[in-house]
Chains A and B, each alone.
Chain A
Amino acid sequence: MATPESRTESAITPEVVEQHGLSPEEYERVLHALGREPNLVELGIFSVMWSEHCSYKSSRIHLKKLPTEAPWVICGPGENAGVVDIGDGQAAIFKMESHNHPSYIEPYQGAATGVGGILRDVFTMGARPVANLNALRFGRPDHPKMKHLVQGVVAGIGGYGNCVGVPTVAGETNFHPAYDGNILVNAMTVGVADADKIFYSAATGVGNPIVYVGSKTGRDGIHGATMASADFGEDAEEKRPTVQVGDPFTEKLLIEACLELMATDAIVAIQDMGAAGLTSSSVEMATNGKAGIRLDMNKVPCREEGMTPYEMMLSESQERMLMVLKPGKEAMAEEIFRKWELDFAVIGEVTDTRHMVLEFEGEVVCDIPLGPLAADAPLYDRPAMSREDYRAWAGVQPLETAPGSTDLGADLLKLVASPDLASRRWIAEQYDSQVGADTLQTGGDAGVVRVHGTRKALAMTTDCTPRYCHADPYEGGKQAIAEAYRNLCAVGARPLAVTNCLNFANPQRPEIMAQFTGCLDGMGDACRALDFPIVSGNVSLYNESKATGGGSAILPTPAIGGVGLLEDYGAMARIGFAAEGDAILLVGEEARHLGQSLWLRVVHGSEAGEAPPVDLAQERARGEFVRRLIGEGLATAVHDVSDGGLLVALAEMALAGNIGCSLDALGGPAAAFGEDQGRYVVTTGQPDRVEAAGIPVRRIGTVGGDSVAGVPLTDLRAAHESFFREWMEA
C-alpha cells in the first residue's frame, strides 16, 4: 500500500526518527507494523503511542504481577481510573498521576494541568470528583530554584483545584537533594458515582458518531508525552513551550456538562484527551472497542489557523474529551455543551476496519492498522541488579552503633522544625479544603470526606518513604502500602484499594530497574497480605536530570494513594489529644530501629542503616485492632507512628489537640525516635475496657499539661511553624 501523502511534507530521515524519540530498532517495528514507510503524521502517532509514558514499555511486564482484584473491585487498571464498590449502589473512582517534568520546567502550569488531567480521568468515568490529594517531592530548600518551584507548584495546585471547586484534603511533601533537578508532582482525585452508571472507553457500534467536546485545540504541549519519557538534558528550560496551559474554568464547565449528559442515555464511550491528546484518546477508544475509527481533521475545533493534522493529533491542549454517542443523540448532547459554552463537534465515526484513518481536505493523511500498533509496540524486560548487588551498589550497611542523645527534648525540637516534619499550614491554607461542605477532616492521618447526603465517608491518604525504598526497595515498597493502610485505619476507615504513581529514574540502568522491581515486589506482597488491591496507577520513568550538574537520579518513589470507607462517620478518629486524663496507649513494641530514621538524618546528618522491616501479618492485626477500638467508641485520638518515631507522633497529637502529655518513661533515642513499623498511639478514657487480644498494647503516659517530654507546647509550636514561615517570608 502506498504511503498517504502527508501535508507536513518533510521526509522521514534518521534524524526525524530520532527527534521523535524512537530508536532505530523501534523504527524497524514501525515499518513492520505498517508494512511500509510512515508519513510524518503516522510517525508522530507511533512516537507518542510507543513513548514510555503511553506504552509502559519498560514497566508493563512487571505491573502485571500486582494484585488487582477483590470482591469490592468493580474496575481495576486499564481504564481511566479504578472503581470500587462503597455500598448502597455507589462507587468510589480514583487515580493518581504524575506531572513531574512539566512542573520542573513551569511549576505553576505544570502542577495545575496535573490536577486538571487527573480530574478528567475520574469524571470521564461518570464520577463527580469529591476530593483532590497530592504527593510532592522537592529538592533541598536552599537550592537556588527550590523556593520558586515550591511556590509555583503549590499555587498551581490551588489555582486549579480551588477554581473547579474540588476540595484538596490531604497530601505529603518531602525534601531531599535527590530531587534538586527533578521534582515530583503527583496528583490524585477521588470521585463518587452510581455503581450502575460507570462509563468506559471502548468505542463500539459501527457508524456511531465520534464527538469532540471542551476547549479548542492549539499548538501547546506538542510532544509532551515524548518529553516525559526522557531524562532532562542541559536544555530543560528550553522545553517550556511543551508545557500545556490549564484553564480550570473550562474544566469546571466540562465537569458539569459531562455529568449532565451522563445522566441521560446518550453515551457509548468517553475518554479524556490527556497525554498525547487526540492520538491516545482515539487510538485507545478504538482499540478497546476492537473497532476502527475515521476522523475528519477539518472538523477538529482549532484555536489557531493553519494547524496541520500532525499538530492536531499531537497537541496536548487541555480540557478536551472525546465521546462516542448513540446515533440520534447528537442534537440533545450539543444543546448541553452549548449551554455550558463549550465546543461540540462531530469529527468522525466508528468503523469496522480496525484502522485509524484520518482525512484532511478530502485526502487520507494517515492510515494505521490498530492491531499492529498495539501488538508491535516495544516491550522491554530490562536487566536489573540482584538484591545483593543492589545492596552493595547502594552501600547499605546495618547500623552497628547508633549515636546517643544528650537531650531528647532538644532533638524533638529540631525534628519538628525540619523540612520533612514542619507544619504544612503554609501549603494547606492555599488549598480550598472545605468546598462541597462535606470535608470532615484534614491535616491528620488521612483526609475524610463524607459521601454527599449519607452517613458514609471516604478516607484517603498518599504515602511513600523514598529513603526506605532507596535503602531496601522491597521493604520500602511494602512500607509504602502498609503506611497507607495504617493511615486509613487510624481514622477508623476500612482500607479498600490503592492507586499508585511509580516515580523512578532511568530504567536502562540495572540499579534503577532493581529499585523498580524490588518496590513492585514489596508492594505486591503487601497488597495481597492486607487485601488492599491496586486498581489504577501511572508510571513515571526517567526522573533524573543533568540540568543541575548532578546527573542525579531521584530516590525511588512509588507514591501510594489509599482509599478507605467509613460506614458511619460518627465513628471517626482524629489525631489531636482530646481530654486531660486520657490514657496514652502504644500499640506495638518499643522501638529499636534507628537506621534510615529522620532523627539520624536531621540530628546527626547521616542517612545510614537499613530500612525498617514491615511484618505484614502484624500490620493487618494491629490495623484491625485499632479500627475496632474506634468503632466501639473507645479511642479518643489515634495517630500512626511513622517519620520521626513515637515522640514526634506524640508532639503532633499534642499540637493538634493543644494539650500536652506526661510520659511514664522516655527511654533512649531508639525508643523515642526509632521508626519501627506497624505502630499506633491511641488515647482512651476507658483503658480498662481495652482488650488487647494478642496485640502488644502498653500504657505509656497520660494526656494533660502543657508540654511534651519536658518541651513546652509553645516552644514546640514555634519550632513546628518556623520552617515555612522563615523560608517563604525571607
Chain B
Amino acid sequence: MAFRGAVITFPGSNCDRDMAVALEKVSGVPALRVWHGDAELPDAVDFVAVPGGFSYGDYLRCGAIASRSPIMRAVIAAAERGVPVLGVCNGFQVLTESGLLPGALMRNAQLNFICRTAPLRVENNRSLFTAGYDQGQEIALPVAHHDGNYFADEDTLDRLEGEGRVAFRYLDTCNGSRRDIAGILNARGNVLGLMPHPERAIEVDHGGTDGRVLFESAVKGLVAA
C-alpha cells in the first residue's frame, strides 16, 4: 500500500515545508498538508507529523495554544486509534501540551536559543520510528530551540526509562534536560516526540543523514504493515 503521510501547519509553523519535503524524499509520495483549523485529518492517513516552528507565536507557553486547535482533537483521536504521530521540536511541545506525551519542555538551562549538531544515542530501536537504527547507536542530529529542557517528575522519568520509552538521549548536556532525554515514546509506541530535527539530516548536503533513518523506518514499517 502507498504511504499516506500528513503534515500539520499551524500559524507560525516554520518547519512544515521541511517536514513535507523529507517525507516525500523518503517515501516518494507527496505529503498531505493539513491546516490547523480543519476538524478532520484526510481519510486513511497513516502517519501524522507535527512540525517545528513557533505555533501561534508560542505565546502563553510553547505549544499550548496549538494543542487546543481543532486539528489537534483529530490528531489525538488518531493517535488513540494507533496512527503513528511524530512531533519534532515545537511539535514535541505540542504533543506534551496536548497530553499525548508526559512531561514538559522548559527554557534551556543556559537560557539562550541553541542551534548546533547534537550527538545522541538511540535508546530504543524497537519502535516504528527507530527500527532502522542499531540499539545504542550514536548519531548526530541538528537541534534548534529555546525551550527543549525536558522535565518530568522522578516517578514519570523512572517509568519512561523502565518501559523503554526514552527513544533518544543527548550525549552532552545539551539544554539541561532531565536525564539528557531528547525524545520519548508514548506507552503504545505510536507517538514519538523529540527536540532534534531529523528532517534537517536526510541528505549528504545537510552534513549528515542520520535523520533519514527515522523516516525510512516509519515508511518501511507502515508500507509493510
Say yes or no: B57 contacts A430, CB within 8 Å.
Answer: no
Say yes or no: B114 contacts A429, CB within 8 Å.
Answer: yes
Say yes or no: A437 contacts B115, CB within 8 Å.
Answer: no
Identify which of B11, B53, B112 contacts A155 (C-beta below 8 A): B112
| Residue in chain B with minimal CB distance to A442 | B115
Say yes or no: B115 contacts A432, CB within 8 Å.
Answer: yes
Among A245-253, A470-478, A575-583, the stretch that binds chain B is A245-253
Proximity bits, A422-449, B CB within 8 Å = 1, else 0: 0000001111111111001000000000
| Residue in chain A with minimal CB distance to B15 | A435
Say yes or no: B11 contacts A249, CB within 8 Å.
Answer: yes
| Known contacts A158-B113, A249-B59, A569 near B14 by CB under 8 Å | no
Proximity bits, B84-115, A CB within 8 Å = 1, else 0: 00000000000000000000000000001111
| Residue in chain A with minimal CB distance to B111 | A155
Minimum C-beta distance from B183 to chain A (A):
18
Say yes or no: A434 contacts B113, CB within 8 Å.
Answer: no
Q: Which residues of B contact A164 (CB under 8 A)?
A: 14
Which of A164, A253, A434 has the largest count of B CB atoms less than 10 A from its CB?
A434
Minimum C-beta distance from A719 to chain B (A):
21
Q: Which residues of B contact A720 (CB under 8 A)?
A: none
Give 5 CB contacts A-B under 8 Å: A249-B12, A249-B59, A340-B11, A429-B113, A436-B18
B150 on the A face (CB < 8 A)? no
Say yes or no: A430 contacts B18, CB within 8 Å.
Answer: no
Say yes or no: B56 contacts A430, CB within 8 Å.
Answer: no
A302 on the B face (CB < 8 A)? no
Say yes or no: B12 contacts A429, CB within 8 Å.
Answer: no
A374 on the B face (CB < 8 A)? no
Within 8 A of A (CB), among B1-49: 11-12, 14-15, 17-18, 21-22
| Residue in chain B with minimal CB distance to A163 | B54
Q: Is the interface of B mostly helix, strand, loop or mixed?
A: mixed
| Known contacts A165-B14, A440-B205, A249 near B56 by CB under 8 Å | yes
Say yes or no: A434 contacts B14, CB within 8 Å.
Answer: no
Q: Which residues of A contact B15 (CB under 8 A)?
A: 165, 435
Minimum C-beta distance from A442 to chain B (A):
9
Say yes or no: B206 contacts A437, CB within 8 Å.
Answer: yes
B197 on the A face (CB < 8 A)? yes
Which of B52, B113, B146 has the largest count of A CB atoms less than 10 A from its CB?
B113
Q: A436-B18, A569-B205 are in contact. List 4 more A-B contacts (CB 8 A).
A: A165-B54, A429-B115, A434-B197, A435-B18
Say yes or no: B144 contacts A162, CB within 8 Å.
Answer: yes
B116 on the A face (CB < 8 A)? yes
A237 on the B face (CB < 8 A)? no
B63 on the A face (CB < 8 A)? no
Within 8 A of B (CB), among A218-252: 247-250, 252
- Docked complex Cα distance between A165 and B11 (Å): 12
- Docked complex Cα distance between A31 and B167 (Å): 73
| Residue in chain A with minimal CB distance to B202 | A437
Interface size for A (C-beta < 8 A) is 28
Minimum C-beta distance from B24 to chain A (A):
11
| Known contacts A249-B11, A249-B12, A433-B115, A163 near B205 by CB under 8 Å | no
Identify which of A155, A253, A435 contacts B12 (C-beta below 8 A): A253
Q: Which residues of B contact A435 (CB under 8 A)?
A: 14-15, 18, 52, 144, 200
Q: Which residues of B contact A341 (CB under 8 A)?
A: 11
Say yes or no: B112 contacts A252, CB within 8 Å.
Answer: no
Proximity bits, B182-225, A CB within 8 Å = 1, else 0: 00000000000000010110100110000000000000000000
List the 3 shortest-distance A-B pairs measured between CB atoms, nearest first.
A165-B14, A249-B57, A437-B18
Minimum C-beta distance from B165 to chain A (A):
28
- Docked complex Cα distance between A432 and B114 (Å): 8
Minimum C-beta distance from B118 to chain A (A):
11
Q: Which residues of A contact B53 (CB under 8 A)?
A: 165
- Docked complex Cα distance between A249 and B56 (Å): 7
Say yes or no: A252 contacts B205, CB within 8 Å.
Answer: no
A450 on the B face (CB < 8 A)? yes
Say yes or no: B112 contacts A430, CB within 8 Å.
Answer: yes
Within 8 A of A (CB), among B57-96: 57-59
- Docked complex Cα distance between A695 and B197 (Å): 45
Minimum C-beta distance from B30 to chain A (A):
13
Which of A158, A252, A435 has the largest count of B CB atoms less than 10 A from its CB?
A435
Identify which of B12, B22, B113, B205 contacts A450 (C-beta below 8 A): B205
B142 on the A face (CB < 8 A)? yes
Q: Which residues of A contact B52 (CB under 8 A)?
A: 435
Say yes or no: A253 contacts B115, CB within 8 Å.
Answer: no
- Docked complex Cα distance between A116 and B40 (Å): 34
| Residue in chain A with minimal CB distance to B205 | A440
- Docked complex Cα distance between A248 and B59 (Å): 11
- Docked complex Cα distance between A433 and B202 (Å): 16
Minimum C-beta distance from B19 to chain A (A):
9
Q: Which residues of A contact B14 (CB under 8 A)?
A: 163-165, 252, 435
Within 8 A of B (CB), among A70-113: none
Say yes or no: A248 contacts B54, CB within 8 Å.
Answer: yes
- Docked complex Cα distance between A352 and B199 (Å): 53
| Residue in chain B with minimal CB distance to A342 | B11
| Residue in chain B with minimal CB distance to A436 | B18
Within 8 A of A (CB), among B116-133: 116
- Docked complex Cα distance between A550 and B213 (Å): 59
Minimum C-beta distance from B14 to chain A (A):
3
Proximity bits, B156-167, A CB within 8 Å = 1, else 0: 000000000000
- Docked complex Cα distance between A253 and B115 (Å): 23
Q: Which residues of B contact A159 (CB under 8 A)?
A: 113
Q: Which residues of B contact A252 (CB under 8 A)?
A: 11-12, 14, 54
| Residue in chain B with minimal CB distance to A450 | B205
| Known contacts A249-B59, A569-B205, A437 near B11 by CB under 8 Å | no
Say yes or no: B200 contacts A437, CB within 8 Å.
Answer: yes
Q: Which residues of B contact A249 (CB under 8 A)?
A: 11-12, 54, 56-59
Proximity bits, A240-282, B CB within 8 Å = 1, else 0: 0000000111101100000000000000000000000000000
Say yes or no: B57 contacts A431, CB within 8 Å.
Answer: no
Q: Which residues of A contact B200 (CB under 8 A)?
A: 434-435, 437
Proximity bits, A129-166, B CB within 8 Å = 1, else 0: 00000000000000000000000000100110011110
Say yes or no: A162 contacts B199, CB within 8 Å.
Answer: no
Identify which of B22, B57, B113, B205 contacts A432 (C-beta below 8 A): B113
| Residue in chain B with minimal CB distance to A570 | B205
Q: Which residues of A contact B59 (CB under 8 A)?
A: 249
| Residue in chain A with minimal CB distance to B206 | A437
| Residue in chain A with minimal CB distance to B14 | A165
Say yes or no: B57 contacts A247, CB within 8 Å.
Answer: yes
- Docked complex Cα distance between A262 and B59 (Å): 29
Which of A252, A432, A436 has the largest count of B CB atoms less than 10 A from its CB?
A432
- Docked complex Cα distance between A247 and B142 (Å): 26
Q: Which residues of A contact B21 (CB under 8 A)?
A: 437
Identify which of A155, A248, A432 contacts B144 (C-beta below 8 A): A432
Say yes or no: A434 contacts B142, CB within 8 Å.
Answer: yes
| Residue in chain B with minimal CB distance to A437 | B18
- Docked complex Cα distance between A725 and B144 (Å): 20
Q: Which residues of A contact B11 (CB under 8 A)?
A: 249, 252-253, 340-341
| Residue in chain B with minimal CB distance to A569 | B205
